[in-house]
Structure 1
């Protein structure tokens, strides 16, 4: 006769073995594709305070789709759809339109699990009507572009979904000096975005820079590399002031990787927490320019060279550990973030400033930007303002975690998430919504664009709530 403890131990062991075998039975399925969302020209460009009309295309803007699904035999366990877009933000209702067009089209697809992010190129089409003063005819209007791009993206998602196949995933870490903190700090504690670093009262760069590169790689059952996601804490705005359509540094990166690994490769650009970063030098500018000239490279080519080198560094690790059965978990929930309070002083200042723009059509962007603060103040005074409602996605894929946010999130918040996360690597994807900066306390004290009330719908307190809610969700997914 066996003792009861031995029987219980044996039963527990069998249950553990059964659970392990069930987990091992899960198979990762992968689908990936890319689509060109460059509209008919001429088209208005967004990302600056002035009107720009593009009549030429230097590089196409694209949407790059990755579908992941975990299956146990014929049973679907979990799935997610990532769409990385060469846009400034996900705004103008494009996310809602994509989901609407997919409704009832793909059995088994949860529309809530479609994630869209922007690379933040400032040379992509405008998506909001009335943002700039535009001709009524002869130019692709913002609403036209949103409709056109939403249909192209929905079609690409259907293609990637229908072509998903057994695959493998690997993850790696690389390094590339792409981002520099763009806020210069001066004597007295004040700061300025893109401020002069050669001024007599310049005292340093305000914040941290994250030069790591989180990389995911996906192979099909033929062991062909079919997709990669590249997470860099930097927006794609190296050529932001031009008046031509341009996907910024992601285009030469995609071209370089495809040239080596094949045209079947889909490259997703994920901008990490980088509201205070820029891919251009803040100091040593002459030395940087000289080296690019000696190497016969443009700025985009130089950035691409660094990113590809960092990606190869990460790939060298990822390719050694491929996982066909990586655990996939995906949580979607709505969180509420406190709004930044509009002070009496800010209200008084902006009320005076906005009068200067009232009758100047070229200043419509600035006028609307400031008017939104006054509207917020009125709601605040009336007691009708509501917290910012954000759709938060967190995922576990094997040993790694992925988290999204709507904003241009200052790097300190991303550093917190990565450092406090239980995952081996944590990918933070910003600009999965309409944007607006979320600064840290240090930046608010320094002031200037990106850390003033006009720039901040959500402030440092909201950024910390976002951080805590993100980590709470990730921690739950990594509980044993």
Structure 2
């Protein structure tokens, strides 16, 4: 009842008020080689192909000189935002912004697989990398640097806030595709050969929407944009170089089109746990077109995103809101742990027996053995497992809703949220304020394969439905007059 009472009190205060906007960008590119996160093997960066950044937007609504609500939104070119990193960042930020509620900071990751490792805490990481000590910046050192730079971006954005406005648009571009193929026997496989005679269909669909939130100053000059794309930025995921992936190209191309070199661009990864920028079919046709265009595929994806945003710019200029309703709900949401199936338990015990006899195990074998042992323990101690506590954020800004989760959230969960939302348009941010691993659908667990296996699932479909229902309930509180909220 406590949370419901809080929601009701908040909903009564949601009405139009003056908006104040600030923005900033900071480099989070290290000046030393680092270990890169996202693959099973250790990769040490040899160069910087495309710099990684933290982009921040501060939002505050004010009425009669009093603050109604506030937020700072930060997007980072990282594989994820570990809980320990978020805790360090908030602790560092609090004395710098004593009048700001640090619980209302949202830090999300673009999920590039060519950015530094930020945590070596076993409970937070799927893989523990053996990292050379000499000549390589260690994760703890990089995290300290990261926290400092994120704080700089947040403080500058907050202190630069001035009266301004927002607008939002919807464009379209094909960026992500479902990466899980289903075969005649019902099993699924990630990145499978779809020209196999046993191939039947992709497990789920994709979302080509490019949802854009524009931030303007009082003179109606564009100062920042946030772009929501249902695809992780992992086109160049296996390289040994720092690279912000297609978000770098989207940012640079958009800045060039607008002639705004200082524009702040937030890349928001939507629900995309089963999505990928890699073509699953029509590969040869796409490769031919990119060659004819004289681009790399990374550049082509950036071109599609920047074009989709640019094409809606006139519409955005025509509907700038300077007094839009603004509200920000933060809730700690306990979610039940993923249930380990009997067949998964049996498979884990078989795999443990096989991995245990490997004479010279490499890092992948060591990682898999640790994961299989974890599956056995989770099955045998199911009644003792605590819930997974997720920090849920739901915002209203004008007629749009913004919601966050910590997972690599399968697209179907995000579609549920958008379809049931009482808002005119809904932005879904995954990998925000935590790393909860994949949140698969029941269909994915049935099909098996990576991302549908318990090794990379802290929670399962039961938790997914709770997350959707609670997110929708919070949105309904922020949009009480909407027919969908009844």
Secondary structure of the 2:50 match is coil
Between the aligned partners of 2:456 and 2:29, the Cα distance in structure 1 is 28
Q: Is the 8 A contact 1:194 1:282 kept in 2?
A: yes
Correspondences of 1:45-56 after superposition (within 5 Å): 45-56=36-47
Between the aligned partners of 1:67 and 1:366, the Cα distance in structure 2 is 42
Paired position in structure 1 for 2:338: 340
Between the aligned partners of 1:204 and 1:197, the Cα distance in structure 2 is 9
After TM superposition, give the deviation of residue 248 of structure 1 in Å.
Answer: 0.5
**Which residues of structure 1 form unaligned runs of 5+?**
1-18
Paired position in structure 2 for 1:206: 203
Spell out structure 1 runs of 4+ moving beyond 4 A: 355-359
2:159 to 138, 162, 182: 162
After TM superposition, give the deviation of residue 355 of structure 1 in Å.
Answer: 5.0
**How high is the TM-score relative to the length of structure 2?**
0.91
Paired position in structure 1 for 2:414: 414
After TM superposition, give the deviation of residue 356 of structure 1 in Å.
Answer: 4.7
After TM superposition, give the deviation of residue 163 of structure 1 in Å.
Answer: 0.8
Q: Is the 8 A contact 2:254 2:310 kept in 1?
A: no
After TM superposition, give the deviation of residue 270 of structure 1 in Å.
Answer: 0.6
Paired position in structure 2 for 1:147: 144
Q: Is the 8 A contact 1:31 1:67 kept in 2?
A: yes
User: Are 2:445 and 1:444 equivalent residues in the alignment?
Assistant: yes
User: Are 2:476 and 1:469 equivalent residues in the alignment?
Assistant: no
1:266 to 264, 267, 274: 264
After TM superposition, give the deviation of residue 208 of structure 1 in Å.
Answer: 1.3
Q: Is the 8 A contact 1:272 1:428 kept in 2?
A: yes
Query: Alpha-carbon deviations, 1:162-196, whole Å to 9, x = none?
Result: 11111110010000100111011110211101111
User: Are 2:119 and 1:128 equivalent residues in the alignment?
Assistant: yes
User: Are 2:239 and 1:238 equivalent residues in the alignment?
Assistant: no
Q: Is the 8 A contact 2:58 2:72 kept in 1?
A: yes
**Structure 1 residues 218 and 59 mapped into 2: Cα distance closer, same or farther (>3 Å)?**
same
Paired position in structure 1 for 2:288: 290
After TM superposition, give the deviation of residue 254 of structure 1 in Å.
Answer: 0.8
Query: What's the C-alpha RMSD, in Å, of the aligned pairs?
Result: 1.8
**How high is the TM-score relative to the length of structure 1?**
0.92
Between the aligned partners of 1:343 and 1:204, the Cα distance in structure 2 is 25
Paired position in structure 2 for 1:372: 374
Between the aligned partners of 1:429 and 1:439, the Cα distance in structure 2 is 16
Q: Is the 8 A contact 2:436 2:458 kept in 1?
A: no
User: Are 2:58 and 1:67 equivalent residues in the alignment?
Assistant: yes
Matched residues, number: 458
Secondary structure of the 1:58 match is strand
Secondary structure of the 2:315 match is helix
Q: Is the 8 A contact 1:292 1:302 kept in 2?
A: yes
Between the aligned partners of 1:145 and 1:369, the Cα distance in structure 2 is 26
Between the aligned partners of 1:370 and 1:162, the Cα distance in structure 2 is 49
Between the aligned partners of 1:370 and 1:134, the Cα distance in structure 2 is 23
After TM superposition, give the deviation of residue 446 of structure 1 in Å.
Answer: 1.1
User: Are 2:304 and 1:306 equivalent residues in the alignment?
Assistant: yes
Query: Alpha-carbon deviations, 1:83-137, whole Å to 9, x = none?
Result: 1010011116111111000123213200100111100000010122271111123
User: Are 2:86 and 1:89 equivalent residues in the alignment?
Assistant: no
**Which residues of structure 2 form unaligned runs of 5+?**
1-11, 123-127, 482-486
Paired position in structure 2 for 1:12: none
Query: Alpha-carbon deviations, 1:419-464, whole Å to 9, x = none?
Result: 1111000000001121311111111111111111112111111111
Q: Is the 8 A contact 2:251 2:306 kept in 1?
A: no
Between the aligned partners of 1:436 and 1:62, the Cα distance in structure 2 is 23
Paired position in structure 1 for 2:8: none
After TM superposition, give the deviation of residue 354 of structure 1 in Å.
Answer: 3.5
Paired position in structure 2 for 1:8: none
